[in-house]
Amino acid sequence: MNKPIGQTRWAIAEGYIPSWGNGPEPQFTSHETACMLNTSDQDAHVEITIYFSDKEPVGPYRVTVPPRRTLHLRFNDLTDPEPIPRDTDYGSVFESDVPIVVQHTRLDSRQSENALLSTIAYGSND
Amino acid sequence: MNKPIGQTRWAIAEGYIPSWGNGPEPQFTSHETACMLNTSDQDAHVEITIYFSDKEPVGPYRVTVPPRRTLHLRFNDLTDPEPIPRDTDYGSVFESDVPIVVQHTRLDSRQSENALLSTIAYGSND
Amino acid sequence: MNKPIGQTRWAIAEGYIPSWGNGPEPQFTSHETACMLNTSDQDAHVEITIYFSDKEPVGPYRVTVPPRRTLHLRFNDLTDPEPIPRDTDYGSVFESDVPIVVQHTRLDSRQSENALLSTIAYGSND
Amino acid sequence: MNKPIGQTRWAIAEGYIPSWGNGPEPQFTSHETACMLNTSDQDAHVEITIYFSDKEPVGPYRVTVPPRRTLHLRFNDLTDPEPIPRDTDYGSVFESDVPIVVQHTRLDSRQSENALLSTIAYGSND
């Protein structure tokens, strides 16, 4: 691979982690995932900022995606500086020192059958 | 954050609010949401125009997204200049005075299990 | 609105109309929809070409989206030059004489609860 | 058609093939699909690389999309150089010698009603 694919800044305007779900844990826990793909030959140091509707942003949360690896990060698992509250609207911005690709997925298992959504995030190099 | 992420014009070609649903209100009311993220340090004044298949557009609906905030707007909640009719095809355009990111989500609860869809909107600075 | 939003060529790589479904017709008929939004002040003359996995493309199918209107076109409803076969993989390209925005949605009602998918199409002005 | 639509490199950050499902086979086998559309008049020779969270990438997997054809490739069906493990996070990159359009879809049939997701992949000509 000649050149890493992607961009260095990504935004996901939609975020919401339901507080409950149905089905075997942890696969069917309601969750939001940010899938990050780093095709470069360097670590991608990613800083994530979480935006809310009614208070100042929280972050940065720091994660590292190793070279030539994908990281499927559950927002549910973020704890430092603080966990993301459930049943709360949020948005997120990802800033990486190398180009990455970010995709957003939610599994909603609040009712007996799960529902899925996914979309590419909004990417920019600005 | 050095520079706000996003674009100033966004379009969502798909819109449809089912008139009925199942499950506890208001979480499981069938709804369409436009998630707007404003990472800038200024208010984003957003004007929304709603397009129909068989009559002239309605709007602008005006909303403000405060600095460093996300707003998850339910189309169901828009009332001024007039509510969006149910069971009707529509599309929407968002024009903001500062760059924002817009994502579209629908929860359809007409059947006993809900279904979800989401996509990044189409963004442009033109 | 100063300038119409969108692009003149769009592609949807994914297409598949299930031959059967459950639930009240026509809302719960399994269907694929291309939502087109024309924010300009002119008719958008759109030519749609359907691509298959094992035979030459069919088209153009011709539709007109009036000025300042959205058209939610069900692929199920296309008949001229010929209907789109069910249970068959296809893709589609949209070419318009004015900029439009295209979004793709599927309602799959083959099982007792419907499933939804949606994504912005791939747009280009080339 | 004057010029083929699309780009030559595409990335899908999200990938996960559930190991089990419900419903009639093969339509309701849980699967991930990459839909590729080649509107050009030449073969598109596509090389796919699969990225994991904890080991080096595998590939290239080689597929050819004939001129003016769409190919809906199930990741489940890839076997050479090796099958993609189930219940495992992965990402993918597509490199083609002619412009194509790539869209990602998952049918998840682990519960009694299926769920669908779809998104346009991230495209680039770099």
Check B103 against A16: CB less than 8 A apart. Answer: no
Name chain D contacts of A40, Cβ cutoff 8 Å: none
Q: Scanning the structure block, which residue is given the tokens 């080649």?
A: D38
For chain B, the average pLDDT equals 82
Contact call for residues B51 and C37 (beta carbons, < 8 A)? yes
Name chain D contacts of A8, Cβ cutoff 8 Å: none
Look at residue A100 and tell me if it is in a domain.
Answer: yes
> Measured between alpha carbons, how far is C16 from C33 in angstroms, rounded to an integer?
11
A69: which 2 tokens? 């690896």
A34: which 2 tokens? 């940010």
Which string of b and e fits D21-56 if b means at least 16 CB within 10 Å? bebeeeeebbbbbbbbbbbbeeebebebbbbbeeee
> Measured between alpha carbons, how far is A31 from A27 in angstroms, rounded to an integer?
9
Look at residue A51 and tell me if it is in a domain.
Answer: yes
A30 φ/ψ sector (left φ>0, alpha ψ -120 to 50, else beta)? beta
Burial of residue B21 (CB within 10 Å: 0-12, 13-18, 19+) is middle
Look at residue C2 and tell me if it is in a domain.
Answer: no
pTM: 0.87
Region B12-29 average pLDDT: 65
Q: Is B96 on the interface with A (CB under 8 A)?
A: no
Q: Is B93 on the interface with C (CB under 8 A)?
A: yes
B52: which 2 tokens? 């129909």
CA distance B43 to chain C (A): 21
Name chain C contacts of D112, Cβ cutoff 8 Å: 111
Look at residue B2 and tell me if it is in a domain.
Answer: no
Look at residue D2 and tell me if it is in a domain.
Answer: no
Check C6 against B11: CB less than 8 A apart. Answer: yes
In which element (H, E) is residue A101 found?
Answer: strand A90-108
Q: Is B112 on the interface with A (CB under 8 A)?
A: yes
Name chain C contacts of B13, Cβ cutoff 8 Å: 35-37, 70, 100-103
> Measured between alpha carbons, how far is A105 from A120 in angstroms, rounded to an integer?
9
Q: Is C86 on the interface with D (CB under 8 A)?
A: no
| Closest CB to D120 among C90, C115, C120 | C120
- CATH number at B19 reads 2.60.290.11
Domain tally for chain A? 1
pLDDT greater than 50 at residue D54: yes
Q: Is D56 on the interface with B (CB under 8 A)?
A: no
pLDDT less than 70: residues of chain A: 1-2, 20-31, 107-121, 124-126
Q: Which domain holds residue C62?
A: 7-123
Name chain C contacts of D120, Cβ cutoff 8 Å: 119-122
> Measured between alpha carbons, how far is D28 from B112 in angstroms, rounded to an integer?
20
Look at residue D80 and tell me if it is in a domain.
Answer: yes
Choice between C67 and C32, residue whose per-residue pLDDT is larger: C67
Contact call for residues A86 and A74 (beta carbons, < 8 A)? no
CA distance D5 to chain A (A): 19
Look at residue B32 and tell me if it is in a domain.
Answer: yes
* pLDDT, tens digit, 9 for 90 and up, residues C75-121: 989 999 999 998 899 999 999 999 999 988 776 444 444 455 556 66
> Measured between alpha carbons, how far is D31 from D107 in angstroms, rounded to an integer?
5
* pLDDT, tens digit, 9 for 90 and up, residues A90-115: 999 999 999 999 988 776 444 444 44
Of the candidates A64, D70, D65, the residue with the CA atom closest to the CA atom of residue C58: D70
Check D118 against C113: CB less than 8 A apart. Answer: no
Look at residue B33 and tell me if it is in a domain.
Answer: yes
Instruction: For residue A37, give Cα distances in angstroms to A47, A62, B120, D16.
Output: 14, 15, 18, 14
